[in-house]
Structures are given as C-alpha cells and as structure tokens.
Chain A
C-alpha cells in the first residue's frame, strides 16, 4: 500500500506535480460549477482556444507565456461579452467562427517559427512533471483571484444561471455578470497551462462539475463534490501515470491520464444514476 500510494510522492517532481494537480482540480471544480450551471461549456471551450495565439505571440516575442495567455484570454473574454449583446450572429455560430479564427491565427504564428517549438507543445498539453515552484506560485495566485471573484458574485451568478430574465429584471446587468465569469474562467485556463495545457483544460472545467451535477441536489454540495472529483482525478491520474511508467514501462502522459480518469468518473456516475432511475420505476412500466 505504501509503495502504491505514498512512494511515488516521495520524489520532488511528483510532489510538485501533485500539488499543482490538486490546485487545478479544485479550481476546475469550483469555477466549472458556474460554467455547467450557466450551460456555457462550449463557450468556455472557445475561450481556451483563444488563449493559444496569445501564447504563440508571446513565444515569438520571447516574453512570458503566462502574460501572453492572460492578455489574449482577457481580450477575447471582453470581446465575446460585447459581441454577444449585439445578437449580430447566432451565438453558437459566432463562437465557432471565433474559436477557429483565433486558433488558426495562433497556428499561423507558430508556423512562421522554424526553431524548436517544444515550448509551445508544452503549453498545449501541459508538462505536469516539470512543474517548478514558480509555476505553483503563479497557479495559486491566479486561482485564488478566480475563486474570490466567483465567491464575491456567487448569488448573482446563481440567479443569472437560473433565471436570466429575472436577473435582468432585478437590475443586474447581464454583460457585467457574464464578463465577470468569463474573466474567472480565463484565469483558471491560464493557471492550468502547465498542468494540463490549453487543449485539455476544458475537461477540468466541465467534467468534475458535470459529474457532481449528476449526484448532488444543491449548488453547495455540487461545488464541493466537483472540487473533490477534480482533485481526486489529479491524484489518481498521477498515480496511474507513474506506476504505468515506472513499473510497467508503459508511457501514459500525466495530463491526458488525469482527463481520462475524469471522463471515467463521469461515465460511472452517469451509469449509476441511470441504473438507479430504472430501479425506481414501478415494475409494470419497465419493458421486459
């Protein structure tokens, strides 16, 4: 048992990987609760793709990739907020266009670089095993801001998610609330760059909260469960990746493994709920 659960985390790099996975898992669960309740998972996905060109440009200019990601993310968060007011396009189509445009632009920037692009691949998929102390500090700081933001506006965000019209009628400006949440989501995306990268962070934002939604009945418990699921997946994913690599010579990248664990827990929860529903129906109504 010790070898299975404790030994892997006696190594420095594994400890740091664990810490950042726990933080990022909790963040995804907490902020992701609002994403799921507001039903903006696709939009959140769009946001994660718009971060990429900022990262690419920062790379070309030899600047901080975190700063590049932050700037790009905040710009697009604001842009989306403003554009959605105009109802110029159906929101869905608009988002798809934005997503592909931003990401394509990022790829164009990358293709002009003929030197090694290893650093950029790292930011797409994360390199949780080479996380440094500075990375943890940055992640914690950004994460703390995101959590404080959503805590501050919790009831207003909940009302907006539940009854958008009522929220407007009570005098809350939807643009302001949406912008607030968008920015919190962007902060979580940038905070998770090193751990899982921009491509997979959407899983952290959506899956834990979606899983929690299936099994809880109130927002409080949903958020707690989501954070728990996010963190647990981090631990389990790291352990699986470690044991596969060290004891069996099978290479399973840590980031994607964590995401797979998340998906698995969602499916298990979904299966459990479905089975429970079937069992509850009166026998006469159940098809043979």
Chain B
C-alpha cells in the first residue's frame, strides 16, 4: 500500500543528498566587478571604521554589523553571506567576538583572506568572575562558595580551552595603542591584496597613528583630573580602557564579556553592595544593550544612571550623525561622559 509511494520519496531524498554534495562546486565569487576595486567585508563597526580610514573609497566596503547591534551573537542573512562569497578580504575583530563568522565563511565558499585584527594584541586573560572579584575586592569566601555550589572546574576549563582564547576579553579597541596594532594588521592585508594602492594605504595609516597618539594623551590627561575613578558598566567591555588609563573597575551589571549571560540574584545583590561600599558616583548604560537592569541596580544603590544619548559605546560605534559615529569620536564621547559623571 505505502511501498510504491515510499520509493519516489526515498529517491527524492537520495537525489537531494547527491545534489547537496554537488552544490559545493565553486560558484562562490562572481566575475570580478567592473571596477578594479577590491571588496572588503568587515564585521564590527570599529574595524569597518578602520578600513574606511585606511582605504577610503579605494575599496568597496561591506559592513556586516550595523551600529548599536550586539556583535556577540549575529546571524548573517542571505545578503551578508553573498557579500562574504564575493569578497577578497574579510576583516574580523577576533578573540571570539565574531565567532559566528567562522561558520558563515565556511558556508560561503569564499576565496577571500580572513584577517584577524587582534593578531599581536596582548589580551586581558582570566574568567570574568575573577576579574570582577579581584577588582571589587571580594573575599575568598565568595569564590569558595561558588565552587561548593557546584560550579565545577570543568566549566572554567571549558572557558579557557574552548577554541581561540575564548576566555580573553575581546573589547581590545578601547585602548588606542591596540587600535594601532589592529590598523597595522588591516593595512598589511590591504597592501597584500591590492598592491596598486599600497602607498595610499600606508600614508593613511601613518596619519591616523598620529591622531591615535593624540587621542591617547588627551584621554589620559582628562582621566587624571578625576579623584573618584570608580567605574561600573553594563557589561565587562571596558577592561582595556580601565587598564590603560588607571580607572578602578568596581563591577559590571552583566558579569561577563558576553552579553547573553544572566546575572544571578547573588551577583546583583553583591554589585549593589559593592557600589555603595566603594562610593561609586555613577553607573553607565551602554548603547547596544537594554538599560533596564542597570537602572534597577542604580535605583537600589542610590546612584546616578548615565544612559540614553549619554550611554557609553561598549560593543559598537554609533550610527551616522550620533556622538559615536567614528572611532575617534566614540572614544572622546566615552571619555567626556565618564569624566562628567564622575567629577
């Protein structure tokens, strides 16, 4: 009764399977575009900005992430996949921030070179719990309690061993010196892919390095005017900034480099206590994350919450026309906001 019907269906499945194997043939890149400009795909808004600075309109730049979109978990759509297939150079931030890119690149059958902008940057290591604990001065009992409550060593081990330094802090660009390294990686790649414009690229890089040095000095002098340097942010995105400029990191609402973690009730209570004890003046929301939890903690701790247009740019740049539309503007905005709130 059913047998005769099953045969065509099973045949269809087999056929489909065979077709799937065949579908691997390289239809990846279309014919080279009419202009001789190479196509560069860049993941985060920060590296997109860097590419723009270095290459201007000498390349066709396709940005995957849009401003104020959380970069930690992104699903490339058909248009993004298509651009990956057609690119010559793909630039990513690295350190696991754009981990979703790996599968997308593999599926796109692209002939492009994937550039990790973080190559050569000294990373902040360590599990996020350790970072917040030590900077907040939390006692050893907290740590011990965590372990006895069932947080096994295997969890931490998984963190550190999983893939490429997944336990490292990926928000490397918040230190302008790291930005220089990233720029260098990008320039090298662009020069290799498009030797014709090498001179332009290198000149642009050199000019920007001057700007970055100026920025670095400016931020340091502004931060030095503060007496109260205690910082509480939405998630742990500002580690490199804090380390470079000597701020004091009290804690983050989401105690993680990743935005999908959920703070436990203990985390929240501890943070409120730490904020009060440390005499934090203000806590900061971020442009790409919902501020509700930050607002709640601010209310409970009785401190100002800096949010809305004044939100810090933790994970991305801002849209065109906003205070964070370029890297330089973004860094300046963050610094202004922090200094104004904490002075």
Contacts and interface: CB of A to CB of B under 8 A. Distances in A.
Contacts of B256: 114
Given A115-B158, A132-B106, A147-B9, A23 B16 contact: yes
A273 interface: no
A114 B82 contact: no
Interface string B88-121: 0000000010011001101111000000000000
User: Which one of B20, B23, B158 has the greatest number of beta carbons of chain A within 10 Å?
Assistant: B20
A144 to B, nearest CB: 6
Contacts of A242: 78
Interface stretch (B52-60, B69-77, B172-180): B69-77
Interface in A3-51: 8, 10-16, 19-20, 22-23, 26, 30
User: Which one of A11, A117, A122 has the greatest number of beta carbons of chain B within 10 Å?
Assistant: A11
B328 to A, nearest CB: 28
Contacts of A26: 9, 12-13
Nearest to A249: B79
A114 B127 contact: yes
B85 interface: yes
A154 interface: yes
B205 to A, nearest CB: 31
Given A12-B28, A22-B16, A130-B104, A245 B79 contact: yes
A129 interface: yes
A254 B1 CA distance: 36
A56 interface: no
Interface string B20-39: 11011111100000000000
A224 B128 CA distance: 54
A137 B21 CA distance: 9
B107 A129 contact: yes
Contact of B82 (A11, A113, A143, A253): A11
A12 B28 CA distance: 6
Contacts of A168: none
Interface in A132-190: 132-133, 136-137, 140, 143-144, 147-148, 151, 154-155
Contact of B13 (A13, A147, A223): A147
B151 interface: yes
A278 interface: no
A16 B9 contact: no
B260 A129 contact: no
B2 interface: yes
Contact of A13 (B3, B16, B108, B155): B108
Interface stretch (B159-167, B212-220, B317-325): B159-167
A220 interface: yes
B229 to A, nearest CB: 27
B6 A147 contact: yes
A230 B186 CA distance: 45
Interface in B228-281: 256, 258, 260-262
A252 interface: yes
26 contacts: A12-B26, A12-B109, A13-B108, A14-B81, A23-B13, A23-B17, A113-B158, A115-B96, A116-B99, A116-B258, A117-B73, A129-B76, A129-B78, A129-B81, A130-B81, A133-B21, A136-B20, A140-B13, A140-B17, A144-B14, A147-B6, A147-B9, A148-B6, A245-B80, A251-B77, A252-B77
Nearest to A21: B16
Given A62-B158, A132-B106, A13 B85 contact: yes
Nearest to A22: B16
A143 B20 CA distance: 15
Nearest to A246: B79
Given A62-B162, A127-B75, A12 B106 contact: no
Given A11-B27, A23-B16, A241-B77, 12 more contacts: A12-B26, A12-B27, A14-B81, A15-B19, A16-B20, A111-B261, A111-B262, A113-B155, A114-B261, A116-B99, A129-B76, A129-B81
Nearest to B161: A62
A277 interface: no
A22 to B, nearest CB: 5
Mostly helix, strand, loop or mixed at chain A's interface?
A: helix
Contacts of B108: 12-13
Q: Contact size class for B?
A: 35 or more
A26 B154 CA distance: 41
Nearest to A23: B16
A10 B85 CA distance: 12
B23 A114 contact: no
Contacts of A129: 76-78, 81, 104, 107
Contacts of B166: 115-116
A227 interface: yes
A37 to B, nearest CB: 13
B10 interface: yes
A144 B260 contact: no
A126 B213 CA distance: 44
Contacts of B104: 129-130
Given A23-B13, A147-B6, A253 B75 contact: yes
Contacts of B24: 12, 16, 133
A27 B19 CA distance: 17
Contacts of B73: 116-118, 121
B159 A137 contact: no
A60 interface: yes
A30 B82 CA distance: 33
A163 to B, nearest CB: 17
Contacts of B28: 11-12
A86 interface: no
Contacts of B13: 23, 26, 140, 143-144, 147
Contact of A114 (B21, B72, B75, B128): B128
